[in-house]
Structure 1
Amino acid sequence: MRIPQQLSLGVSLQDDATFENFYLAESDPNSQVVALLQLFANGENPEQVVYIWGETGSGVSHLLQSVCQSAESSGRSFQYLPLADLTAMDPAAILDGLEQLDLVCIDDLHLLENQPQWQTALFHLYNRTRDSGRQLLLGGRKPPRGLNLVLADLQSRFQWSLLFQLRSMNDSDKIAALCRRSRLRGFELPEDVALYILHRAPRDTRALFLLLEQLDRASLMAQRKVTIPFVKQVLDI
């Protein structure tokens, strides 16, 4: 159940941010993280606090939102908080009472470094969540030890978490992920077209998937297959 505050904050989950859409290569070490988070989302894992981190495009935000999507399907109460959209707001007003929810997911923790008020508010939320026996999922681009925080106690709390680093995708993974995502969207993206896009577009996976959505819409409107000439025409790359 999504609480009213989720809507009033203007925060929404991306429809395609699901476990099913998260690309895993064969023998991918990220498989362990995904399996644990699937249990965590449904309240089937006893861990109270999990912290995942990885480079831009590694899928941290995707997995945090996947956990929320799965929690919602299980009827659990949750809140997803991307700090990239919220640091200009009053942290106390946003975080007050969230320890009553089954699950709180906080994204973009690397943005805490110049936010002492947010650090203090999150420290208190962390303690309240632990005391109430609820679950907290944390994500960002840096591990706890890599965060330059004024509040050392918050950093130590983060370090107590069950910690995972996500492996970033290589070029072969990104091509495979683009082709797989296109099939899930209902169209075929040839590998040579995916390679063409990868060599000319931003290499961040989220940016690549947004381009894929753009191509999907354009191909539907034009009733054309996605080829290299069509990509050149639509994306101007």
Structure 2
Amino acid sequence: MMKMGKQKYTGEIVPAQLSLSVGLRDDATLANFLAGDNQVLVAHLQQQLLTCDPQYLYIWGKKDSGRSHLLQAACHASGHQDLRSLYLPLRDLASLGIELLEGLDELDLICIDDVEAVLGQAIWEEALFHLFNRMRNKQHRLLISGNAPPQQLPTRLPDLASRLAWGLIYQVQPLDDIQKLAALQLRARQRGLELNDEVARYILHRSPRAMRELFRALEKLDRASLSAQRKLTIPFVKEAMRW
């Protein structure tokens, strides 16, 4: 069972299995996503929320690329547009069965994460194909992410493969070290922390480079700073992180 979180839609059409709620991370917003080389992708994502054009977006990237962040951010942003949305991380929810897709075409936006987790399974591929068609017929928004471009996914149903390749496709470009520093400082500002360049570089060099690990380090430092009532300096970071 997933942790309860803010849910943008709780209407009765959502299957009983989803009454447990799919949690959205509070920090997964467009405001604290450093676009880096993904400006065009973010622009199209915002356009989809405002105008439903494009109706369908497919984004892909490796683990820690930020695609899950973007899908959850789209759900958060949809609430500001009075849109009903749902985030479905299939890697976590696949065990609930295809019934969780029933009735979802009534929503304005569905964000399906880790689509590759169910591909190769005939029953899932057919269910996704029909959901895709229902969403398209109602001109509702669909945002799907995977770990590879559509042509490289292990899809067995040709009709679904063609649907996944339909529309705009973007690779989420990873951040370089300079952009990671900027992302770390952006997240620090969102938390009300002062993180200067020198301390940010020290964290980047000592922590694992994956963004989720950098943000975990920042979260730990935020708690430690609040508890000790101390600013983030290199000596304090060394002590708090035991580096």
The question of 1:2 aligning with 2:9 is answered yes
Is the 1:112–1:149 contact (alpha carbons within 8 Å) kept by the matching residues of 2?
Answer: no
Between the aligned partners of 1:214 and 1:41, the Cα distance in structure 2 is 33
Alignment match, 1:37? 45
Relative distance call for 1:69 and 1:192 in structure 2 (3 A) is: same
The question of 1:236 aligning with 2:242 is answered yes
Structure 1 residue 60, shift from structure 2 partner: 1.0
Alignment match, 2:209? 203
Alignment match, 2:56? 49
Q: Secondary structure at the match of 1:220?
A: helix
Between the aligned partners of 2:230 and 2:89, the Cα distance in structure 1 is 37
Between the aligned partners of 1:120 and 1:235, the Cα distance in structure 2 is 48
Alignment match, 2:4? none
Q: Which moved more, 1:199-208 or 1:44-53?
A: 199-208
Is the 1:3–1:79 contact (alpha carbons within 8 Å) kept by the matching residues of 2?
Answer: no
Structure 1 residue 192, shift from structure 2 partner: 2.5
Output the TM-score relative to the length of structure 1: 0.89
Is the 1:71–1:77 contact (alpha carbons within 8 Å) kept by the matching residues of 2?
Answer: yes
Q: Deviations over 1:170-204 (max 9, x none)?
A: 11110111012111211111223222222232322
Structure 1 residue 18, shift from structure 2 partner: 1.2
The question of 1:225 aligning with 2:236 is answered no
Q: Secondary structure at the match of 1:136?
A: strand
Structure 1 residue 115, shift from structure 2 partner: 4.0
Alignment match, 1:185? 191
**Match of residue 80, structure 1, among 83, 87, 105:** 87
The question of 1:62 aligning with 2:73 is answered no
Q: Which moved more, 1:66-75 or 1:146-155?
A: 146-155
The question of 1:134 aligning with 2:140 is answered yes
Q: CA RMSD in A?
A: 1.9
Q: Which moved more, 1:145-154 or 1:192-201?
A: 192-201
Output the TM-score relative to the length of structure 2: 0.87
AA of the residue aligned to 1:178? L
AA of the residue aligned to 1:75? D
Between the aligned partners of 1:201 and 1:113, the Cα distance in structure 2 is 35
Structure 1 residue 118, shift from structure 2 partner: 2.4
The question of 1:22 aligning with 2:29 is answered no
Q: Which moved more, 1:223-232 or 1:142-151?
A: 223-232
Is the 2:47–2:53 contact (alpha carbons within 8 Å) kept by the matching residues of 1?
Answer: no
AA of the residue aligned to 1:14? R
Relative distance call for 1:161 and 1:9 in structure 2 (3 A) is: farther
Runs of 4+ deviating beyond 3 Å: 4-7, 113-117
Between the aligned partners of 2:139 and 2:52, the Cα distance in structure 1 is 13
Alignment match, 2:105? 99
Between the aligned partners of 1:126 and 1:101, the Cα distance in structure 2 is 12
Between the aligned partners of 1:231 and 1:11, the Cα distance in structure 2 is 34
Identical counterparts, % of pairs: 48
Q: Which runs of no fewer than 5 residues in structure 1 stay unpaired?
A: none
